[in-house]
């Protein structure tokens, strides 16, 4: 009873005091909150690394110093002289000790500061804000301490500031001559904040990485003023790749003044002060991840089984988890780098968006490696699939302990061409956070090594029938120009409508299969089968009718045991699915994923991009507009217009998950282009995908040129022969023009040419510079060096050769009538040559004629009598 009465009396007294005018005045005039402070509380914990990290060794207990400040009104408690209206600092201390001593609960000082605040909120309902300073006294070798200052509110908001205290280093610094002769001690204090969108790994901010960079910078410097040194340190910190938003640097010289402890300067800087911007990985990719997502770059590799299938299976496994593939590089075949006595690798990189932290992501990658079939071998040994994190946002991570040690950026990026070259495909301008050089610059600085070959799989690598046990055929870009034979199963195609229809009841005499066999014997590398005529004015057909035309041909080819790659010329997803399921290899889409034409009455249940991604097959994306014969005006010129519009379709394909290594660009000759526009594209084809001119989507894409027998060629021929433009030369009479256009496209970099007359165009392709030869003993991989041959022929004294007809020699150069030379054909001769309009190019094909003079004599006597 006495205690209850006493409490009532004290409460009444408090009410009277609170109503006193002086009390109200004091309360209303207070500008700063009352604080409860626990300062310098020592805790022993295994939190984080010590100043002597030892990978694989259990973490040692180390000292941690906590300071906790709680804003809380103490007016009532001070008035009644009782803790009932306050919070005991002893209780705060006990809560803090209990929270910090939970072994394994917190993996970073950031998480501990958050946990400490939440423990206080849980224990004390009157607390709405907790301020803490957590310092690790033995975390860094040359600094007194490092840690984080936090302010956390009950509603969940939190501000954190990081610091390094009294980093002591020796360097040359000073204006006076005696200061330039010997290093002196400098004492550095750092304090910084991170960008608001920063997400740290579970181990928290990497103090050691930042201090290492600052130390290297300071020790190597020799400034005259501490002002310059402070500015240099600030810039190094901001560019350390650790998302530092603003940094305060204090640099002191303890030996500067005899009667003072130290002389110092202090500056605060951000990136804009140095005219810099953050090295944003997402900006380099041109991709903004959704809220809560992060961007990472992964390395991909395989050298066991079908390497393409293994890599694709690895990506599919990732896509089933919290990962979206947003871009990929091209794929490259490379020799093993460290242990050379093993099969060649297929290497590439991909960009992903994920909600996983770096440690969660590396754990997922190892899980996927095990699922796909990776078995542990030796370091840098054979791999079914090898997945690594190269970059993650713009952060640096160094985890030396645990099941999966992790270092980000990957520590050997700068020495590996098989990493840098595919990286340059997607982020050439990205600045490596620690190397401070762009990916392109790092690649350019590497010494020449074994060549890397860009490659493309020829099978749908994600199809259920794709075996990972054995190697399937693939193409090596740059090794030759591939010849695509055109098989139209339509009755109304502009060039050969109704000629090669399939007769399934009589497969041996089926015109379609006869064309296939003939084309293959003449040197075709791939067949392009189409069942929908894109000729202006052609009647539309239903997807069912198109499937009925195309799929039986595919099946018949496969049933006949012919394993040549098959391309399906269609813009319909249903047709693509049916053909791929029947045995086709890739899709040639004249509408670049846009589906049926506007106004079509035929509906599709899915998109082309979804089907291509599902099967993991190559796709040709051709530029076109709605009407092939109309809409031919481009405001900034045909080249720029095609570049922009086709680039947008490639970007859409990449965004749908289609791999960059599976995309081929087609400028769309004859589709929505004027005659002059087509000529502009022929002349400037190389510029379409030139990285120096084009957008990133088109950069270095392989090109398919489908210029065979196109109407613009007929219009040119009609004008050049005195005819009227409205009466162009017919399709089958455009072979010479096709040969010239194909030649121009190949010399401009076309990797694939789509043709109708395979036999004739084979000869055109075979004698282009850079093509492999195999005539009468000439090695199949030997490449003709036209420049050297021209030089030798010109210096062979041909002007004085009595066997050389005068009309063949013009200004010392060899000239010949195009049509006469084209009519020459002899497979048994040891000499092979191809004639261009301006000159004859000669190839040595037999050692008997290795002497230029003898070679010319043979040509002149045999063919030019």
Domain 281-457: state its class: alpha beta
- pLDDT attached to residue 103: 76
- pLDDT attached to residue 863: 37
Cβ neighbors of 762 (< 8 A, separation 6 or more) are 483, 522, 523, 524
Helices and strands in the chain, H and E counts: 25, 31
Q: Model-level pTM?
A: 0.67
Strand stretches in 759-838, DSSP E: 772-773, 782-783, 809-810, 813-814, 832-835
CATH number of 34-274: 3.10.270.10
CATH number of 480-705+750-766: 3.20.20.20
Residues in the chain: 865
* Active-site residue (options: 710, 734, 762, 841): 710
Strand stretches in 745-838, DSSP E: 752-755, 772-773, 782-783, 809-810, 813-814, 832-835
What distance, in Å, lies between the first and last C-alpha atoms of the chain?
137
- Which residues in the chain show pLDDT less than 70? 1-31, 48-60, 78, 80, 82-85, 241, 276-279, 337-342, 374-381, 402, 448, 492-500, 502-503, 505-509, 535-537, 628-629, 720-728, 772-865
* Burial label, 24 (beta-carbon count in 10 A; 0-12, 13-18, 19+): exposed
Cα dihedral 437→441→447→448 (10° resolution): 150
Active site residue 136: no
Active site residue 125: no
CA 515, 516, 517: angle at the middle one, nearest 5?
95
- pLDDT attached to residue 59: 57
């Amino acid at each position: 009873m006495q205690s209850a009465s006493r409490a009532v009396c004290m409460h009444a007294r408090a009410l009277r005091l609170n109503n006193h005018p002086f009390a109200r005045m004091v309360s209303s005039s207070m500008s700063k909150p009352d604080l409860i402070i626990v300062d310098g509380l020592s805790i022993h914990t295994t939190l984080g690394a010590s100043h002597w990290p030892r990978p694989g060794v259990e973490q040692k207990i180390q000292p941690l110093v906590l300071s906790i400040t709680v804003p809380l009104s103490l007016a009532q408690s001070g008035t009644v002289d009782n803790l009932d209206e306050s919070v005991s600092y002893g209780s705060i201390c006990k809560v803090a000790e209990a929270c910090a001593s939970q072994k394994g609960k917190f993996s970073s000082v950031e998480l501990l500061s958050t946990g400490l605040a939440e423990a206080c909120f849980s224990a004390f309902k009157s607390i709405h804000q907790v301020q803490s300073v957590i310092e690790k006294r033995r975390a860094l070798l040359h600094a007194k301490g490092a840690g984080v200052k936090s302010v956390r509110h009950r509603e969940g908001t939190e501000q954190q500031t990081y610091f390094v205290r009294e980093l002591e280093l020796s360097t040359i610094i000073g204006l006076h001559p005696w200061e330039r002769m010997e290093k002196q001690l400098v004492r550095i204090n750092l304090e910084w904040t991170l960008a608001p969108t920063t997400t740290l790994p579970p181990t928290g901010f990497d103090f050691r990485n930042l201090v290492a960079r600052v130390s290297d910078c300071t020790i190597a410097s020799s400034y005259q003023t501490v002002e310059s040194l402070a500015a240099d340190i600030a810039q190094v910190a901001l560019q350390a790749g650790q998302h530092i938003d603003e940094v305060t640097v204090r640099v002191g010289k303890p030996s500067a003044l005899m009667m003072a402890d130290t002389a110092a300067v202090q500056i605060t800087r951000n990136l804009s002060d140095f005219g810099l911007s953050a090295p944003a990985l997402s900006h380099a990719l041109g991709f903004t991840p959704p809220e809560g997502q992060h961007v990472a770059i992964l390395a991909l590799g395989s050298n066991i089984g079908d390497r393409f299938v293994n890599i694709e299976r690895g990506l599919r496994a990732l896509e089933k988890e919290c990962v979206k593939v947003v871009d990929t590089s091209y794929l490259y075949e490379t020799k093993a780098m460290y242990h050379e006595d093993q099969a060649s690798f297929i290497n590439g990189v991909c960009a992903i968006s994920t909600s996983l932290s770096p440690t969660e992501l590396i754990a997922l990658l190892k899980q996927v490696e095990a699922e796909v079939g990776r078995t542990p071998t030796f370091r840098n040994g054979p791999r079914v699939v090898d997945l690594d994190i190269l970059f993650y946002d713009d952060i640096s991570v160094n985890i030396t302990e645990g099941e999966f040690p992790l270092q980000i950026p990957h520590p050997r990026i700068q020495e590996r061409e098989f990493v840098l070259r595919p990286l340059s495909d997607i982020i050439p301008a990205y600045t490596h956070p620690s190397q401070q050089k762009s990916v392109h610059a790092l690649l350019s600085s590497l010494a020449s090594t074994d060549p890397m070959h860009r490659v493309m799989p020829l099978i749908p690598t994600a199809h259920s029938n794709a075996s990972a046990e054995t190697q399937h055929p693939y193409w090596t870009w740059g090794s030759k120009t591939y010849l695509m034979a055109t098989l139209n199963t339509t009755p109304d195609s502009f060039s050969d409508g109704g000629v090669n229809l399939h007769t399934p009841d009589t497969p041996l005499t089926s015109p379609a299969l006869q064309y296939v066999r003939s084309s293959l014997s003449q040197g075709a590398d791939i067949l392009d089968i189409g069942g929908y005529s894109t000729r202006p004015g052609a009647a539309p057909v239903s997807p069912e009718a198109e499937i009925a035309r195309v799929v039986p041909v595919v099946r018949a080819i496969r049933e006949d045991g012919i394993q040549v790659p098959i391309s399906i010329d269609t813009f319909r997803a249903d047709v693509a699915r049916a053909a791929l399921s029947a045995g086709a290899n890739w899709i040639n889409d004249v509408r670049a994923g846009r589906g049926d034409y506007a106004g079509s009455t035929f509906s599709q249940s899915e998109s082309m991009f979804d089907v291509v991604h599902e099967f993991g097959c190559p796709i040709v994306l051709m530029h076109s507009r709605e009407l092939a014969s109309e809409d031919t005006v481009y405001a900034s010129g045909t080249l720029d217009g095609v570049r922009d519009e086709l680039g947008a379709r490639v970007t859409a394909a990449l965004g749908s998950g289609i791999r960059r290594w599976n995309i081929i660009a087609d400028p769309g000759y004859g589709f929505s282009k004027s005659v002059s526009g087509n000529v502009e594209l022929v002349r400037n084809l190389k510029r379409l995908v030139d990285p120096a001119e084009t957008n990133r989507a088109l950069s270095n894409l392989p090109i398919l040129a489908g210029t065979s027998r196109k109407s613009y060629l007929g219009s040119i021929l009609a004008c050049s022969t005195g005819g009227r433009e409205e009466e162009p030369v017919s399709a089958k009479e455009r072979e010479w023009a096709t040969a010239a256009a194909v030649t121009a496209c190949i010399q401009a970099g076309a990797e694939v040419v789509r043709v109708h007359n395979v036999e004739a165009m084979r000869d055109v392709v075979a004698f282009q510079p850079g093509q492999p030869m195999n005539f009468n003993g000439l090695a199949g991989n030997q490449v003709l060096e036209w420049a050297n041959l021209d030089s030798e022929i010109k210096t062979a004294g041909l002007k004085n050769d009595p066997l050389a007809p005068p009309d063949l020699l013009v200004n010392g150069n060899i000239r010949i009538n195009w049509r006469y030379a084209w009519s020459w054909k002899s497979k048994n001769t040891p000499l092979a040559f191809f004639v261009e309009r301006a000159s004859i190019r000669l190839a040595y094909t037999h050692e008997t004629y290795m002497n230029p003079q003898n070679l010319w004599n043979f040509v002149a006597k045999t063919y030019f009598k």
